[in-house]
A and B are shown apart, each in its own frame.
Chain A
Amino acid sequence: MGSDPLFSHGVTLAVILIVLLKVVVAFAVLLVSVLLMIWFERKVLSDMQNRIGPNRAGPFGILQTLADGMKLFFKEDLVPDSADRAVFKLAPYLSVIPAFLVFAIVPVGGVVHIFGHTTELQVADPPMGILFLLVMSSISVYGVTLAGWGSGSKYPLLGAVRATAQMISYEAAMGLSIAAVVLITGSLSTRDIVTSQIGTYLGFIPRWNLIRLGIVPFLIFLVAITAEMNRPPFDLVEAESELVGGFHTEYSSLRFALFFLAEFMNTVTMSAVIVTLFFGGASGPDIVGPSWIWPIIWFLIKTGVFLYFYVWVRAALPRLRYDQLMTLGWKVLIPASLAWFLIIAGMQVSSYLGFGIFVLVLILGGFLARASGIGNLSDQVRLGRSRSVGTKGVD
């Protein structure tokens, strides 16, 4: 089970200070990474769209986000007359705080020795581990729901209902793909998930969960969390190109900034979670120098790849229509993740019986997937055909 060796000798003042230090560092790093992520996204996006992008504030426009943040900070803070004031003010924080807290369970490095204590480089390593991610994502739904309702206006309410339905639908697929990871690890702790992925097959193929689970759970998880955090191509929650935004239509100033902070923080955190679950997390070969620094570097590289991936997806894919979104979530992702979960469970059970049962389960699973596929074949055809006109966004 996961537990930090820091607490093995009782809780002293030094231990509390180390924990505080970790919290402050994680908080600061996350905020700075959000600043950089927004700048990075705008810069890469403008490169892909053949324009220059932010280039005024600081070198390469790197301080643009800071300038935008200051501007939002000094803008007038409007509360609509018909709004429920308390709920309206509470909602942005329900979006931001879960986004912060999820990062606490992500292992960003190996085990280090500091001030005579041994500790893991992550803010917390609770035994419930990865379930904390599900807890926080179920809380962050309230941020969207209450923002829409609290605004006391029709469009935000409709946007919020739509968004909540989306987030709840994709939470199921996300949970099922996490269950596959937990099944093969045998522990909920994120630290255990990372350590179980250390090593290689044949000397050069890493023992990542991506490979151990087959690629399917990873793909399902990727799609599900993209929908969960309302990134393109599932961003109809707040479709920026449409006239009425969505749940945050009535928000302005700092509270509006908080919603965007939450979204980009979720992007950073979820990239880190993907790396933890499927790509070996903070582990990799030491090349040169102190051994504690290499896990951190590998972690940053892997996370950076996914941050780039999200920007790329945003530039490349058109937005899904609402019915396509729901079809994909309920009729494709959830059955697929359930079927794959069965296959992996079969593999786990049959590992000592040899390969035969695994093949049998695979065939049965194939039949199962085929059988459920025939039922919604027409939906998939529709989904595929109308994807080319998806940008028009009928909903």
Chain B
Amino acid sequence: MKKRLVIILFFVIIFITFIVVWNFSYQKGLEEAYMPVIETPAGNFMPTESGVFKRSNVAVDYLNMPVDENHQRTLEAYYASRAFPGAPPSIPHPVAKERSLGGNTCLQCHQNGGFVEKYSAYAPITPHPEMVNCRQCHVTKNTNETFKEFTFSKKQPPKVGEGQNSALLGSPPVMPHQLQMRENCLSCHAGPSTPKLIRVSHPERVNCRQCHVPKTNEQVQVDINKFLRQFNSSSNE
């Protein structure tokens, strides 16, 4: 008798639960579809210059890393893969998937670098890992031939080395190159893949642009002549 009551009660509870759950989900289904509108805060943009701090989290590691003399890249090798200084470098090794954009495949080695046994070299680090369509600009080199004979007057790379870009003896060198897509200084100027001549001795000073300023205004060339003030004071007799 008692057993039967318990079983009936059990089914009653299951039934009630079913009604409740079914009702709840039915009511939910009646609600209008709604997408919460998230207002973009006014400061959601970042100035283009913010790139300078991008790799600052590993700056101290760079400082403490000894130089692997046997696998250093040379500046010649650095420029050899570029048509002219500032041009996107070509890919000097075979790529696995011809149909891929690059993206994660490339970034596996080129986001944070590291030694690649196969090529016996350190992978260079990209200054713009957020741009994942790598092969839009970087292409492989599949032949050394040219289609027709070709003369290209290659722009000489800026001179680097002690004192080359310093205005005063020993003063911090100015940046002799454009910064577009290369605002992240540490990606090219620190770490084991960096050519010796352009390796910074003090990567832990992450606010690079405190001391190093661009040589020309990179962003907009403004004709300021129309704004020029006439100097009265210097017009002495």
Chains A and B belong together in one complex: no
